[in-house]
Amino acid sequence: MAVWRKSSYSGTSSDCVEVGRGVGIRDSKAPTTHLPVSDKAWSAFLTEVKSAR
């Protein structure tokens, strides 16, 4: 079973994106479906986001 996490910036909001390590991403309002994302793709995404600061 995946452990899903949301950003600490989301607070108690239920309208957010959640990340499941090794699984993908999902919308917290529709948790029964998710978009699969590989570890490699997720790492590349994070690298891009961090470099855009």
pLDDT number for residue 26: 92
Total structural domains in the chain?
1
36 lies in which domain range?
A: 4-52
Kindly state the tokens that stand for 17.
């994106």
pLDDT tens-digit series, residues 27-41:
988 889 999 999 899
Low-confidence ranges of the chain (pLDDT < 70): none
Residue 9 DSSP label: G
First to last CA, the chain: 33
Whether the pTM exceeds 0.85: the reply is: no
- Burial per residue of 5-18, b for 16 or more beta-carbon CB atoms within 10 angstroms, e otherwise: eeeeeeeeeeeeeb
Q: How far apart are CA 49 and CA 45, in angstroms?
A: 6
